[in-house]
Amino acid sequence: MREAIVEPIVVVGAGIAGLSLALAAAPAPVLLLSRSVGDGGKASGMAQGGIAAAIGAGDSPAAHAHDTLVAGAGHNDAARVHWLCAQAPAAIAWLASLGVAFDRAADGRLQLGREGGHGVARIVHAGGDASGARVMQALRERARAAAHVHWREGVDVEALLLRGQAARGVRVRAGDGSTCEIMARAVVLASGGIGALFARTSNPPGADGSGLALGIAAGAQLRDMEFVQFHPTALDLPGVHCLPLITEALRGAGARLCDEHGSPLMDGIDPRGDLAPRDVVSRAVWRAAQRGQRVLLDARKVAGDWHERFPTVLASCRQHGIDPREQPIPVTPAAHFHMGGLAVDADGNTSVPGLHAIGEVACNGVHGGNRLASNSLLEGVLCGRRLGTALAMRDGWPARGSSRWIERGTGLDEHRLRWLRQLLWNAAGPVRTRRDLADAWAACLQAGREGWQARLAGAIVQAALRRDRSLGAHWREDDTSASIPERMAVRA
């Protein structure tokens, strides 16, 4: 069945990046396509940390950029980092104008928290650790009310239409198996990350890289696929795939990581202690677990009303019989954010004409080798708005040449998917070795005939295998040039 639609900007994904684009593209028609239905299933809505912006006394966009570059191990695109940090205060103001009620002190000033890798407190929150949900609510309400924005939920985009060399449409499959072809003036992938391809993740199940796999099938260039960030503190629930996140803001508020005997975990590993960048902390937690030690986050000295400051963490812990105000929280690293993805320029253009990417599925170089905490929502808002404004003023790419459908292909069955998740977790987790990566690469090559997830996993593993030196979140245990303090911690 073919659906007659005036050619809109088709956006695959309805998270913060996609919604920001949709609003900025007015009055051009926008069609949002989402696999999930309603407010659930989107990583943006699960974000607890907030949004980083240099708006406090003594802070500056230059200092924010410095911390971003340090966290990214200098692998970032410096010009794009400085643009992002300079625009951050305006992004907060725009969201506030849409009705996001950011947390404020009694005098009306924004409350600012601190997270790992930041030299000062510069994290803006809304509803304590419910920031992502509050921002998503405001964006969805505005998009629902906008006459130029249309929605289709519960559909999977399974193929791209290329006319000549340009992307000019998509084919979607609904839950009942029916398909629909939609022509587009431009196709934007805003489909999120890849965390659900790992055995332990803080992402929702739908963050499996489906949009990234579609871009790969279309021949779009890739960048930095090996850089996967692992959040050091997800709630450790044995046998569970998608784990509740324990926000880094707790450590910014005074919580400390310790082993089961109460000894501080980060002592002697990094001078920044519990507020070291996420890759450093994640490796410390991972290694303790490999030694058979249980890692706990002791937040009993965190002051204030948990119902206001950390309602999401409190609810998640209590659901599993833990009161974080009275007892330490068991934690584990979990796949959290992909710094790599489809290579895009500053305006979100991929190497395929008419195909664009924003948010976690894209890689514009701003995060480098390791994303600084609370820069992801910021990137989604700013890059979404930038691309939306550009597309509103641009006609579609010339539709010349023959048309062909580019299929993502069939997926793995659930049994093989569980196998693949464990394979990636073991070989491409917080600590990697050449032998494990080589074995995983061979396994992905063989399984690539079975499903697109294995082909995508193979691209991640292959990139990690090629980079034989540790950088940012990509840690090669067989790199003898790696930092001495962390290696001493391994032998401890």
β-sheet with 222-223: strand ranges across: 222-223, 341-343, 362-363
Res. 130: pLDDT tops 80: no
Residue 349, Ramachandran bin (φ over 0: left; ψ between -120 and 50: alpha; else beta):
beta
**Mean pLDDT lowest among 132-141, 259-268, 476-485:** 476-485
Res. 5: pLDDT tops 60: no
Are residues 76 and 214 part of one domain? yes
Res. 4: pLDDT tops 80: no
Output the pLDDT for position 3: 45
CA–CA separation, 211 vs 456, rounded Å?
11
Nearest to 116 by CA among 297, 295, 291: 297
Output the pLDDT for position 2: 45
More confident residue, 399 or 284: 284
pLDDT, tens digit (0-9, with 9 covering 90-100), for 227-236: 999 999 999 9
Are residues 293 and 432 part of one domain? no
Which residue range is the domain that position 427 belongs to? 410-483
DSSP H helices, 61-209, are 61-71, 78-97, 131-145
Res. 390: pLDDT tops 60: yes
Are residues 70 and 106 part of one domain? yes
According to DSSP, residue 360 is labeled G
CA–CA separation, 138 vs 246, rounded Å?
24
Domain boundary among 309, 335, 361: 335
Query: Is residue 373 exposed (0-12), middle (13-18) or buried (19+ Cβ within 10 Å)?
Result: buried
CA–CA separation, 28 vs 379, rounded Å?
22
Banded model confidence at residue 396, pLDDT cuts 50, 70, 90: low
- Domain assignment present for 490: no
CA 195 to chain centre: 8
- Domain assignment present for 148: yes
Going by their DSSP bridges, the two strands 9-12 and 30-34 should be labelled as parallel
* Cα separation values, 251 from 248, 257, 277, 344, Å: 5, 8, 12, 34
Domain boundary among 372, 387, 404: 404
- Domain assignment present for 3: no
Output the pLDDT for position 247: 87
- Domain assignment present for 1: no
Question: Are the CB atoms for 170 and 159 separated by under 8 Å?
Answer: yes
Output the pLDDT for position 211: 96
CATH, residue 241: 3.90.700.10
Pull the structure tokens for residue 80.
Answer: 């794009």
Q: What are the phi and psi torsion angles at 86 (to 5°)?
A: -70, -30
Matching residue, tokens 């639609």: 5
pLDDT, tens digit (0-9, with 9 covering 90-100), for 302-324: 988 898 888 889 999 999 999 99
CATH, residue 56: 3.50.50.60
Are residues 348 and 325 part of one domain? no
Are residues 208 and 184 part of one domain? yes
Are residues 169 and 91 part of one domain? yes
The residues annotated with a catalytic role in the active site are: 278
Give me the mean pLDDT over the 70-79 stretch: 95
Banded model confidence at residue 100, pLDDT cuts 50, 70, 90: very high
Res. 329: pLDDT tops 70: yes
Res. 489: pLDDT tops 60: no
SS3 471: strand
Domain boundary among 335, 367, 394: 335
Q: What are the phi and psi torsion angles at 127 (to 5°)?
A: 70, 40
Question: What is the tally of structural domains in the chain?
Answer: 3
pLDDT, tens digit (0-9, with 9 covering 90-100), for 424-462: 999 999 999 999 999 999 999 999 899 999 999 999 999
If one counts every other C-beta atom within 10 angstroms of the C-beta of residue 490, the result is 14
Are residues 157 and 54 part of one domain? yes
Res. 101: pLDDT tops 50: yes
CATH, residue 430: 1.20.58.100
Output the pLDDT for position 46: 53
DSSP H helices, 297-361, are 306-309, 311-319
Banded model confidence at residue 39, pLDDT cuts 50, 70, 90: low
Pull the structure tokens for residue 60.
Answer: 């500056």
Pull the structure tokens for residue 322.
Answer: 């833990």
Question: Are the CB atoms for 367 and 70 separated by under 8 Å?
Answer: no
